[in-house]
Amino acid sequence: MASSGAELSLLTSQEAALKAENQRLGAELISASSLSQFESTYESLGFIRPEKTIYITEEDAVAKLP
């Protein structure tokens, strides 16, 4: 009986630690996937925000053979 109680206590402790880690990782994921985080990441890599966006439609010739 004593070993079962100790094992239950250990498993309960591990469960609490895993729940806390899961919550921390969830918050980290939300933070890492935020638009402001993306912006600072691409700026640190040397990318710049385009001044003008060009949209291509199906009718536009993109890579037309001669």
Q: Count CA within 13 A, CB hemisphere, residue 26.
A: 6
pLDDT digits (tens, 9 = 90+) for 20-61: 999 999 999 998 888 888 888 888 899 888 899 988 888 777
Instruction: Specify the range with the lowest mean pLDDT, choosing from 5-9, 39-43, 57-61, 62-66.
Output: 62-66
- Sequence length of the chain is 66
User: Which of left, alpha, beta for 47 (phi over 0: left; psi -120 to 50: alpha)?
Assistant: beta
Residue 64 pLDDT > 70? no
